[in-house]
Amino acid sequence: MITKLLPLEKITTIRQDGSIWVHHIETEDDCKMAEMVIGHGSNLLIKQAREVYKLSERFNYIKQQGDRLLVGGATPIRQILRYCLANGLTGMEFLTGVPASLGGVVYMNAGAFGDQMGDIVDYIRVFDLKEKASKLVNGIRFSYRNTNIDGIILEAALKLKRKDRGLIKSKMENVIKRRLKSAHIKNTFGSVFKNPQEKPAGWLIERVGLKGFKKNTAMISPKHANYILGLGRARIDDILYLIDMAKERVLKTFGIELSEEVVIL
């Protein structure tokens, strides 16, 4: 296992201020010591954690078995999408522009535009922290931005379909256009809150007057109120201030309690 002190702006997509010790998992045996395993930091804030674990590049790979892809947990989504486009495989386009790794999007059942990871995951290989061993897991329970996965996702088998590469490229371009029009793909960790049943979180936050509200190094997006943008290196206190303010105002105005989608360690 290799350990390095790294700036948080390099391991969180909102480019958080500060630094943290990162233990890079090189082998399955290293997983036995792992706690607080992170991916590419696209849905992450560091509040109290002083050290985290992260799969190394040894878990970054793509292997094709028919129309299924065996993908390592550390593989970046952009890399998988490039492979899918080159090989005419469809099913992942909804994640175009998401700066995440495979393990993270599977664990959180990431989704967009009516699609989600649960629709394309066949099975996973996970390191069970209680049993201290890896195993294949089928029949995963996928729900809204959640799964019942307990352990470190080392690999996932994805069920994809054949499609004309031109059509795949067109769909990816359309997804990027939609993201840029209504949301952000840089200097943010993605959606702050899960959407409650009553109304979308962004709609609620906008209605309580916080769209575009700034607190020093962080700002609620003027484009989509369920996004927080880092202004340079974002300080955790500024980000949490905005999160707490949004929750308080929405609860007071609408009686709706917002639940964070971002993971806070």
Q: Is 19 one of the catalytic residues?
A: no
Q: Which of 191, 206, 221, 249 is catalytic?
A: 191
- Stated as kind and residue range, the H or E segment containing 102 is helix 102-107
Tokens describing residue 126: 């996970």
Q: Give one DSSP letter per residue of 22-60, joined into a string.
A: EEEE-SGGGGGG--SEE-SSTTEE-SS-SEEEEE-GGG-
Neighbours of 12 (CB within 10 A): 24
Q: How many residues does the chain have?
A: 265
Which among 157, 143, 11 is positioned nearest to 70, based on CA atoms?
157
Q: Is 145 a catalytic residue?
A: yes
Out of 93, 155, 206, 261, the active site residue is 261
Q: Which residues of 182-209 are buried (b: 16+ CB within 10 A; e: fewer)?
A: ebbeebbbbbbbebeeeeebbebbbebe
- Catalytic, 261? Answer yes
Among 78, 145, 178, 179, the one annotated catalytic: 145
Which residues are identified as catalytic? 145, 191, 261
